[in-house]
Amino acid sequence: MSRLSDRTARRRARVRRRVKLAARGRARLSVFRSSKHIYAQIIDDDRGVTLAAASSLDKALRDKGMKGSNKEAAAAVGRLIAERAQAKGVKDVVFDRGAYLYHGRVKALADAAREGGLNF
Give residue 63's pLDDT.
86
Give residue 1's pLDDT.
54
Give residue 74's pLDDT.
96
What pLDDT digit, counting tens, does each position of 39-82 carry?
999 999 999 999 999 999 999 888 888 888 899 999 999 999 99
Reading across the β-sheet that carries 49-55, which strands appear in turn? 49-55, 38-44, 27-33, 93-96
Give residue 92's pLDDT.
95
pTM: 0.88
Determine contact, residues 77/61, Cβ cutoff 8 Å.
Answer: yes
- Residue 120's closest CA among 89, 83, 92? 92
Structural domains of the chain in order of their starting residue, each with its CATH number: 3-115 (3.30.420.100)
Q: What is the mean pLDDT of the chain?
A: 93
